[in-house]
Amino acid sequence: MSPRRPPVCLTIAGSDSGGGAGIQADLKAFAACGTHGTSALTALTAQNTVAVTAVHPVPGAFIVEQVRAVVDDLGVDAVKLGMIGSPATAAAVAEALDLVPAGVPVVVDPVMVAESGARLLDPEAHDALVRLILPRATVVTPNLPEARALAGDATLDGAELAAAVRALGPAAVVVTGGHRDEATDVFQDADGTTLIPGPRHPDGAAHGSGCTHASALAAHLAHGHAPLEAARAARRVAAHAVAHGLRDLGTGAGPVDVLDVRSRTAPGA
Ligand SMILES: Nc1ncnc2c1ncn2[C@@H]1O[C@H](COP(=O)(O)OP(=O)(O)OP(=O)(O)O)[C@@H](O)[C@H]1O
Ligand SMILES: Cc1ncc(CO)c(N)n1
């Protein structure tokens, strides 16, 4: 890679009109982690901090075309997958992944439910996600309820839960800790299980924490870090974004802020 060329990350995900999650969070996290962010939208959501009021899926052929445009010209050093939504979108995303050169890491955030409680994955898309997408993941990053839904067992936890998700085909798993009292992430790959602890920050502005985490992880893989090191860095980046979350924006859970915008002034001011 030429020293002047930053790593390029591609998010294949949904848009959050409220700017907290989805591609809006992904592009900010990519930039915060020193990479150039590109995007292929899977769905547009009319969304704010309290609800998702409408979803407009992007036609499958157009998802593929967006990925082709990026891959053919800019190149891609890591991919992050977010909202899939429907079985048809899962099939299109799988087709789009065939355009990504072999060996490029793919981080899959198996988005199911928004922080506001809205469902973002049709129940009938679950099988397509498991069959078409998870086996292609370098790292899959479910939160606790998503991991249990993928494992098909609501009683599992810790290393057993991570192993049940890894059995679906991804090389590594991070069960993220935002839904635990201690916000400890559980990483597992072929070498074993590693806990990734860290301080728990007050809740109330964690909308987009999962997207930020998965994108930061992809960005660190794009920089050449190994999955475990990238997962440790992603925990730090996401926790920082939660700590600086914009709790005064909106009436629900405020957007995370990976760029800590309150500490900045307008350029030239
Ligand atoms: N209150 C918190 N304090 C510190 N770190 C947190 C907190 N909440 C989440 N995190 C970290 O943020 C990352 C994302 O975890 P989380 O489990 O919240 O994802 P998620 O539920 O998919 O997020 P969302 O659906 O809101 O985008 C993890 O690394 C997790 O440890
Ligand atoms: C578009 C989109 N993707 C992912 C999430 C998960 O937080 C969300 N709320 N919205």
**Tokens at residue 120, please?**
């973002």
Confidence of residue 224 (pLDDT cuts 50, 70, 90): very high
Mean pLDDT of 65-79: 98
Give the other-Cβ count within 10 Å of 217's Cβ: 32
Give residue 102 CA to ligand 1 midpoint distance, Å. 30
Indicate if the pLDDT at residue 2 is higher than 90.
no
Residue 249 within any structural domain of the chain? yes
Residue 269 within any structural domain of the chain? no
Closest atom of ligand 1 to 109 CA is 22
Q: Which domain holds residue 188?
A: 8-257
Closest atom of ligand 2 to 43 CA is 1
> What are the phi and psi torsion angles at 87 (to 5°)?
-60, -40
Give the other-Cβ count within 10 Å of 124's Cβ: 9
Angstrom distance (rounded) from CA 117 to CA 101: 36
Pocket of ligand 2 (CB under 6 A): 13-16, 21-22, 45, 47, 82-83, 111, 114-115, 120, 208, 210-211
58 alpha carbon, closest ligand: 2
Residue 84 within any structural domain of the chain? yes
Closest atom of ligand 2 to 114 CA is 9
Tell me, what amino acid is at 256? Answer: V
Closest among 98, 101, 90, 227 to 170, alpha carbons compared: 227
**The pLDDT of residue 268:** 85
Residue 201 within any structural domain of the chain? yes
> How many domains is the chain partitioned into structurally?
1
Give residue 122 CA to ligand 1 midpoint distance, Å. 22
Residue 268 within any structural domain of the chain? no
Residue 263 within any structural domain of the chain? no
Predicted complex: ipTM over 0.90? yes
Order the strands of the 8-16 sheet from edge to edge.
Answer: 52-57, 36-47, 8-16, 78-81, 106-108, 139-140, 172-175, 185-189, 192-196
Residue 35 within any structural domain of the chain? yes
Question: What's the distance, CA 257 to chain centroid?
Answer: 15
CATH of the domain at 107: 3.40.1190.20
In terms of DSSP H, where are the helices of the chain?
22-32, 60-73, 87-97, 126-128, 144-151, 158-166, 209-222, 227-243
Residue with CA at minimum distance from ligand 2 atom 4 = 22
242 alpha carbon, closest ligand: 1
Confidence of residue 67 (pLDDT cuts 50, 70, 90): very high
Residue 19 within any structural domain of the chain? yes
Residue with CA at minimum distance from ligand 2 atom 3 = 22
Q: Whats the size of the chain, residue-wise?
A: 269
Give residue 149 CA to ligand 2 midpoint distance, Å. 17
pTM: 0.97
